[in-house]
Amino acid sequence: MNWTTLISAEELAHAIDRCVLVDCRHRLDDPQAGRRAWEAGHIPSAHFLSIDDDLSGRHDPSLGRHPLPDRETLRGKLAALGLSDDTQLVVYDDQGGAMAGRLWMLARWLGHRHVALLDGGIAAWQRAGYPMSTEAPAPATPGHLSERPTLVTLLNTAQLMAALQDGHSQIVDARPAERFQGKDTSMDPVAGHIPGAINRPLSQNLRPDGRFKPAEVLRHEWETLLAGRKPEDIIQQCGSGITANHNLLSMELAGLPGSRLYPPSWSGWISDPSRPVAKGE
């Protein structure tokens, strides 16, 4: 079997020898926390990739706090872990997929369809009683990732602004309500949201135990939010292009594929002080 959205802890336990597994744990306020957590204990055979160092590119304020990595460099890093065209990639974190969703999207950006998020993350693995390890995985035989068409649609700022003039597109912001409304100023020098955006915090995709809600529940919620729009009319964004991927995955899981992603997100939008800012609900 191949998984393209979620994989359960039980499914991973049975298929782990056929997977390339990547730990994506990260804290936005402590960039080294993820590596420390991986060193303290991880799912056996899991490699660690850093959101800042491996899954983001060279700093450029116009591209947000987490610019996309160089495409070919990323392809090489994943191939070095043993990933090939037909290999299952599994990604996980300890925040319900908020961080690992970045690599889920990036793999699809490279055209790799067989990538799934561990539903419930490392906590689900531990609750199920599966083992942990502190050993680094053995060096992998390099895989081969072909150049293939992307599976995601990304927008730059000019494309976003053009889309907002078409009368159909709708921005959905995945940040917590306090940041969307402009009440929390801790992450960015300007608080608020892109005018016209609506807020669906990524936490709304999850059950209390950190697993995703059932697909049919997500579909109902998204269709209510879409209000008659098509999935491809939706533009996902967040603070820096990391957590917006959670909503992208949520729609895919709900059977509503095709929404687009604005990677610079809020931090890229406010890099130009002439762009408008909204506050409140």
**Structure confidence at residue 28 (pLDDT):** 87
pLDDT band for position 94 (cuts 50, 70, 90): very high
Tell me the percentage of the chain whose pLDDT exceeds 90.
Answer: 93
Calpha distance 104→131 (Å, rounded): 24
Q: What does the pLDDT average to over 208-232?
A: 96
In CATH terms, the fold of domain 6-128 is Oxidized Rhodanese; domain 1 (3.40.250)
pLDDT above 80 (res 231) = yes
**Structure confidence at residue 55 (pLDDT):** 98
Which amino acid would we find at residue 140?
A
pLDDT above 90 (res 166) = no
pLDDT above 80 (res 1) = no
Which residues, 6 or more positions from 258, have their beta carbon under 8 angstroms from its beta carbon? 153, 230, 231, 232, 251
**Structure confidence at residue 281 (pLDDT):** 84
**Structure confidence at residue 69 (pLDDT):** 98
Which is the CATH superfamily of the domain at 153-270? Rhodanese-like domain (3.40.250.10)
Beta strands 198-199 and 6-7, pairing class: unpaired
Residue ranges of the chain that CATH labels 3.40.250.10: 6-128, 153-270
Instruction: Retrieve residue 113's tokens.
Output: 């369809």
Catalytic residue list: 238
Q: pLDDT for 108-162, tens place per residue?
A: 999 999 999 999 999 999 999 999 999 999 999 999 999 999 999 999 999 999 9
Instruction: Retrieve residue 200's tokens.
Output: 């669906």
pLDDT above 90 (res 29) = no
Tell me the percentage of the chain whose pLDDT exceeds 70.
Answer: 100
